[in-house]
Amino acid sequence: MTTFHTPQIISIPQDAKERALTFADAVTRTVNYQDSNQQIQEKIRDDHFVSKIGEEAARILFQSRDCLVEGPDYGVYEARRKSWAADLKINGLDVAVKTQRRSAAQRYGLSWTFQDAPQRRDPILNQPEAWVCLVVYEDLKPETECLIYPLKKIKHLIFEAPRLAKLVGKKQAVYLETLIKRGVFQA
């Protein structure tokens, strides 16, 4: 399912940004990422905020293209009720949304990570037909906007070890430069 072939820029309205902030504040208290060596509450909060901003951007884009979109889910669940459910349903298809800040991309390269540790592994890595939406949160601009790449199936992404050493063995990364070099995305 693709409705566009080049990255699309989406402005995020203030109400969506506020929903993402409220969610990030609420959910941070309910998660434990010690298996990823992540204990800094502000980083955990920011990761959840950025994730929701990406989901909102994808929702806005696909709704503007007359797609039926379900999500994002703003429920805050206790640990045993958390799931790996798709971030959005677009025309009935499950779609995972992965988002990275542009400022982080300047340090590590534009990439998106997937959990892949012995204790916690993203089930989408075992679903070659699953759809993924890759998003860049343009946090270096004064306005709140995202760049959304065309949807791809997990089997078309190219996974590499993360460049950040502390993530090796805990996550797998997809780097934009590799996707462009291999023809998955246009430059």
pLDDT digits over 143-164, tens only? Answer: 999 999 999 999 999 999 999 8
Is pLDDT at 82 greater than 80 in this prediction? no
Is pLDDT at 22 greater than 50 in this prediction? yes
Provide CB contacts within 8 A for 84, sequence distance 6+: 122, 123, 124
Which pLDDT score, from 0 to 100, does residue 15 have?
97
CA distance 36 to 66: 38
State the amino acid at position 65 in one-letter form: R
Provide CB contacts within 8 A for 64, sequence distance 6+: none
Provide CB contacts within 8 A for 181, sequence distance 6+: none
Structure token pair of residue 135: 């998003």
Which pLDDT score, from 0 to 100, does residue 76 have?
85
Structure token pair of residue 96: 């995972």
Peptide bond into 72 cis (omega under 30): yes
Q: Binning pLDDT at 50, 70 and 90, where does residue 39 land?
A: low
User: How does 125-149 read in b/e, with b if 16+ C-beta sit within 10 Å?
Assistant: eeeeebbbbbbbbbbeeeebbbbbb
Tens digit of pLDDT for each residue in 117-131? 988 899 999 999 999
CA distance 52 to 50: 5
- Name residue, tokens 């460049």: 163
Q: Among 20-29, 32-41, 73-82, whose mean pLDDT is lowest?
A: 32-41
Q: Binning pLDDT at 50, 70 and 90, where does residue 79 land?
A: low
Q: Which helix (H) or strand (E) holds 50?
A: helix 41-64
Q: What is the mean pLDDT of residues 44-50?
A: 93
